[in-house]
């Protein structure tokens, strides 16, 4: 199955991107994937929409059967992890795979993070539906993640019978063709981001470290610290 791993960033992230995207490229090539990065936002959108808009473009216009997206602040820390084996064995060549968000505020089944995902051809309608909500979310926080969660929430309410259980961030949940994986599959945050406040922090052996929620110089510092730990 032809697969591409991609990321995107704009000028403020260049210093961090110089550290992270070459490691993504190395991972992709090791596992037989294409790789690309975008330095400009999707047409008529901002950089927040790189994952969904560029993913849709790659699936529809470039005929990739599978896309894998990582935020540029994701540092690959284990090149041997087969992320497809970890996530797609049950769904095969279909479905949208994403990970639970990392904080203590994860309480609902649709509380996932768009910092990394896997999507297949059957996700095109889902991506188009989410993208259609862009005008409503343009001036709100989490401009891509928010509408995506909202679509999944509405799909869950339609599909579920009985009370919706609270989210267990350590378990896998499926909502139609959306698979929300436990913490530390896609969203593995180092303790240095918020010392003592990351419930299940990154550790050696994890696929990636998501260096989020701090300013760019601090992210660069943490990235270099983690790379030093790996060598």
* pLDDT at residue 155 greater than cutoff 90: no
**DSSP H helical ranges for the chain:** 14-30, 55-60, 83-87, 124-132, 134-137, 145-159, 216-230
Can you give the CATH number for the domain in which 223 is found? 3.90.550.10
Angle between helices 124-132 and 145-159 (to 10 degrees): 120
Contact between 108 and 166 under an 8 Å Cβ cutoff? The reply is yes
Task: Work out the mean pLDDT of the chain and round it to a whole number.
Answer: 92
Q: Report the pLDDT averaged over residues 173-180.
A: 89
Q: Which domain holds residue 39?
A: 3-230
**Mind listing the pLDDT tens digit for each residue in 22-35?**
999 999 999 999 99
* pLDDT at residue 116 greater than cutoff 70: yes
**Mind listing the pLDDT tens digit for each residue in 74-98?**
999 999 999 999 888 767 788 999 9
Distance of alpha carbon 148 from alpha carbon 110, whole angstroms? 9
204 is written with which tokens? 């050696």
Q: Is 18 helix (H, G, I), strand (E, B) or coil?
A: helix
Q: In the chain, how many domains are there?
A: 1
Q: Is 101 left (phi over 0), alpha (psi -120 to 50) or beta?
A: beta
* pLDDT at residue 161 greater than cutoff 80: no
């Amino acid at each position: 199955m032809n697969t591409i791993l991609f990321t995107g960033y704009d000028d403020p992230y260049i210093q961090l991107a110089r550290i992270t995207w070459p490691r993504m490229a190395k991972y992709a090539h090791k596992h037989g994937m294409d790789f690309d990065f975008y330095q400009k936002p999707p047409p008529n959108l901002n950089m927040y929409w790189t994952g969904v808009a560029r993913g849709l473009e790659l699936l529809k216009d470039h005929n990739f059967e599978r896309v894998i997206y990582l935020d540029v602040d994701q540092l690959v820390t284990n090149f041997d992890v087969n992320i497809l084996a970890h996530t797609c064995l049950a769904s095969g060549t279909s479905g949208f795979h994403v990970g639970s968000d990392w904080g203590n505020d994860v309480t609902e089944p649709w509380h996932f993070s768009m910092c990394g995902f896997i999507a297949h051809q059957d996700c095109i309608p889902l991506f188009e539906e989410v993208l259609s909500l862009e005008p409503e979310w343009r001036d709100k926080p989490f401009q891509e993640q928010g509408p995506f969660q909202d679509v999944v929430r509405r799909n869950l309410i339609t599909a579920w019978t009985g009370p919706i259980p609270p989210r267990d961030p350590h378990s896998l949940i499926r909502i139609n063709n959306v698979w929300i994986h436990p913490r530390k599959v896609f969203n593995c945050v180092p303790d240095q981001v918020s010392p003592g406040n990351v419930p299940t922090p990154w550790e050696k052996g994890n696929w990636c470290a998501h260096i989020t929620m701090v300013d760019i110089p601090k992210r660069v510092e943490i990235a270099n610290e983690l790379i030093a730990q790996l060598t």
